Amino acid sequence: VDIDWEFPASKTQGENFYQIIKGLRAALDDKATALGQNYKYFLTAALPAGPANYAFLDLAKINQRLDMFNL
């Protein structure tokens, strides 16, 4: 699954973006477990380049949930 939200423009939107990623990561992991699969579904997101563009994103938290960033 690839998330393409261009781009969170406030602290609230940044937190909402993280909550979506967090929920999707949990759902994908739960689905793999329920199906007895021993692999991980990929979760990626398109993220903006440049400090002014990612100012409202908590990259440390997001990094814990995503498999890859697309810039």
What single-letter amino acid sits at 50? G
- CA 58, 24, 43, 41 torsion-angle sign: positive
Q: Would you name the residues annotated as active-site residues?
A: 6
Structure tokens that stand for 49 in this block: 């380049």
Give CA–CA dist 48/29, Å, rounded.
26
